[in-house]
Copies of this chain bind each other. A is one copy, B any other.
């Protein structure tokens, strides 16, 4: 065997770079590619069947490269295997419709979920699997290593060093896997600096790791995904947030946590400096966060509740506030945020005591899923953060108490003591259009049959859920001693949904005596107190004011 046979990836890399140089000619200077030559570049470096990571994050999108990739000639470039976190842009699916890509491994599809389902059922996309983010990143280093990565950064210098800006997100994980496996990294940037008279605020990705840089004609798209207008928070959400704070956060002494996206958890954030303060909880709960820079957290930060926030990504408009609150956020010496989805997901998994999220459907075992008929929405970070971290070995009061309760319940006293993560599903019993959130059977089962999946697409397994919180009360699943008790505890907070109406009233009352089901009044809460007045900010304007004018919401949120 010739020794060169062991270095085919490096040889391919050299060949691809040479093809690019030849195809681009004067449109390539050093590593910098002219914007109008990007499709030429992609056509030169890509080969049929390549695994390609087209950076799609929760927020930041390599949109210019996505548009360029859609333009390549399918006769030359086809059968691509796309491996990317998020399908956010129409182009992410156009690739499959026009025959350039055929296979997909991903995490979250959000707005493209319905179209994805159509393409998959029509046989245009072979879906490998839906992952949680950290799982997909892990596979980049094992069996889904990209040959080519198309990423987005804020700026580059002439050498190819990248400044990702506050929305670092997935970029470091993608680039490391690609650059160190003979792959090629192409970065679109908003700005090019010469590196001499103008320099990058800091270097996030060294030039060695980057093959090509192109300045996009327009800045990359960023979605302000985590901004929730307090004006839209309902009094039911206020009540639920009060229950969360008093019935769970205070009860377990939760100091390190992650909040999912949405108005339910925004309400919790906005009640900390008011209701939380009344309960004397400052310093006793919620000091450390794995969280994007939620605007709704501003009042709690200003009131001195928060010691640290490490972020998956950033949030538009929060730049100046973050810079001015560098004790709280992870920022560089230049003052801008350093986010990192891989590390923040690790933090959410291993260093947080509580994950609180929401779902579209929950069944009688507590399994929940956002996959509903006709939509393949994906999972995002929920499976990773909403799972008991069984490798965790450090103790905290919250984790130990949850673990002790689990031994009182189904795991049984015989089980070897270990702690457990608090995983809370917070849902109103009915969602939009009066669809019940509690169901006998998840749509996920039908989706599994339709799409020929190995398992139903369950986001968080009931085995891992510790509490279900609705406007009717809190069900503590840890304390349940049997599957039947568990089912009745869930029915016991499922309100007027068919699942809730199907409860065994006597058994639910028994569970209430044992504090497995708790109503607002059992927690000493008067639902009449749950008014919007309790919110530390009741509008976007209040948030801006609370930030001392540092928070600058995107235009669409400026309604005053």
Measured CB to CB, the residues of A under 8 A from B are: 3, 6-10, 13, 105, 128-132, 134-135, 137-139, 141-143, 145, 161, 173, 176-177, 179-182, 202-204, 206-209, 255-256, 287-288, 290, 307-308, 310, 324-328, 330-334, 338, 340, 342-344, 346-347, 349-352, 365, 367, 379, 383-395, 400, 414-419, 453-458, 461-464, 483, 548
Contacts and interface: CB of A to CB of B under 8 A. Distances in A.
B129 A395 contact: yes
A146 to B, nearest CB: 13
Contacts of A208: 202-203, 332-334
B383 A393 contact: yes
B180 A134 contact: no
A177 B414 CA distance: 40
Contacts of A202: 206, 208-209
Contacts of A416: 365, 367, 456, 458, 461-463
A142 B390 contact: no
Contact of A342 (B139, B343, B349): B343
A383 B391 CA distance: 4
B351 A379 contact: no
A96 to B, nearest CB: 19
A199 B328 CA distance: 37
A346 B338 contact: no
Given A349-B391, A393-B455, 6 more contacts: A3-B548, A135-B391, A142-B308, A143-B288, A387-B390, A416-B456
Contacts of A333: 10, 13, 179, 208
Given A141-B351, A288-B143, A352-B142, A394 B7 contact: no
A131 B383 contact: no
- In the A-B complex, list the 8 residue pairs whose CB atoms are closest, starting with the nearest: A129-B394, A138-B350, A387-B390, A203-B206, A395-B454, A142-B351, A384-B391, A180-B338
A67 to B, nearest CB: 28
A53 to B, nearest CB: 15
Contacts of A461: 390, 416, 418
23 contacts: A10-B327, A131-B394, A132-B350, A134-B350, A134-B391, A135-B351, A135-B394, A137-B346, A138-B346, A138-B347, A141-B344, A141-B347, A142-B352, A179-B333, A182-B326, A208-B334, A342-B346, A383-B393, A384-B391, A387-B390, A387-B391, A390-B463, A390-B464
Contact of A455 (B130, B342, B418): B418
B3 A142 contact: no
A463 B180 contact: no
B288 A137 contact: no
Contacts of A10: 326-327, 331, 333
Contacts of A203: 206-208
Contacts of A131: 393-394
